[in-house]
Amino acid sequence: MEEYLFRQDTIAAPSTPAGRGAVAVVRVSGPDTLKILHPLWLGRDLETLVPQRFSLGRIKTSSGDLIDEVLLVRMVAPHSYTGEEMAEIHCHGNPHLVKALLAELYRQGARGAEPGEFTFRAFRNGRMSLVQAESVAALIDAKGDWARKNALNVLAEDGDKWVRDLLDDLLAIWVPVEADLEFPTDDLDSLNLEDLLPPLNQLLGRMIRLREKAIRFSKLQEGYRVVLA
């Protein structure tokens, strides 16, 4: 598990669903992104490509056979989805093309990404909070417009700010308690436990409201089941 959490290799995977379509997108992320793409890329020098802009070129096999004409977007760390060196390859949506492209990327040293690994790396590298990472999955799996809007709101905002606020307020209550326990004989004002009840009750109320909000969000995400009799 630890090896998985702290891998620093380069990964590749399609980010569009399997099957035929107009366009398929393959993502590559990691320190060797450009090194892996160099033998396969026919176009402007990869190092000179303007980040976050499409560049037209071709992808070939290491033996020189053409795979497809593509649009490539280079993203420079830390200004990418994962916070790493990254590239997106937009090719025609033929499963055989995607398979051939991935085979060449793996041959050059990329590893097939685990499910959700791009978003995990974004979380690991500080590009998003844990709550925001979870909202990505919720947005993809949203079963209705309300679920989509809620997931998008969490993703667009500082999703775990409320957790940090609760922790800060809890620490503000705990610090004087700990000080009174550690230094009971010091010339400090004696701690009145009754003074702690109002802020604790207020904190408990906020936690209950947040729990209710989380339950509503979960139901919106999963959808309601209605019995028709």
Q: Where are the domains of the chain?
A: 2-124, 130-222
The confidence score (pLDDT) of residue 159 equals 57
Quick one: 72 exposed, middle or buried, by C-beta within 10 A (0-12, 13-18, 19+)? buried
**What's the CATH code, domain 2-124?**
3.30.1360.120
At residue 180, the pLDDT reads 74
Q: Tell whether the model's pLDDT for residue 219 goes beyond 90.
A: no
Is beta strand 86-93 parallel, antiparallel or unpaired with respect to 41-42? unpaired
pTM here is 0.73
Q: State percent of the chain over pLDDT 90.
A: 51
SS3 content of the chain, % helix, strand, coil (to 5): 50, 20, 35
Neighbouring residues of 98: CB distance < 8 A, sequence distance ≥ 6: 14, 24, 26, 91
H-run or E-run covering 172: helix 161-182
- Which of 177-181, 200-204, 207-211, 225-229 is predicted least confidently? 225-229
Using alpha carbons, list the distances in angstroms from residue 36 to 40, 71, 203.
8, 17, 52
> Looking at 147-151, 163-167, 184-188, which range is the least confident one?
184-188
Q: How far apart are CA 58 and CA 28, in angstroms?
A: 16
Q: Between β-strands 66-75 and 54-60, what pairing exists: parallel, antiparallel or unpaired?
A: antiparallel
Would you say residue 37 has pLDDT above 80? yes
